[in-house]
Structure 1
Amino acid sequence: DVALVHFAGIYTGIGLGAYIKSKSRDDMRVNSAFTFGEKAFLGWNFGAFSTEAYIRHFSNGSLTDKNSGHNFVGASISYNF
């Protein structure tokens, strides 16, 4: 992940990655062993705590005919020791 803007404890950023599964299955939404993942996020640091909201997408980049992909929306709260 790369933070693009960080001001007054608020930050935003993006992430990009790839992974290879050990095998693909014909019944899966992403019918490929090679998969890409993208992420966009917005967060806030306050003291030792931080909170973040994010959107993620996984797909095979149309490497195969079957590529419905997976989309996720999530949130996290963390404490830094």
Structure 2
Amino acid sequence: MKNYLSNKFYYLRHITKLDKIMTLLAIFFPCVSFLLRGKIFTAVICLILQITLIGWIPAAIWAVVSLQNSRADRRNTRLIKAIRNK
């Protein structure tokens, strides 16, 4: 049981400072978060959305979810490469 829990929370223990900074950036400056990841068109759409105060919350949620998805994609790519190399 202990091994299962340690594997389940492995990712939570290995969040780097850069990940924390990017998450805070995605919350407070969503369009900058997209720009730093090279998604220029998405950043422009996000900026238009966050110009209004009401649109700031959906833009921040969108940026955080997009950031989490890109991290998951990178993690999955590394896992697939590791499996293929075995």
TM-score, normalization by structure 1: 0.26
Query: More strand by proportion, 1 or 2?
Result: 1
More helix by share: 2
TM-score (norm 2): 0.25
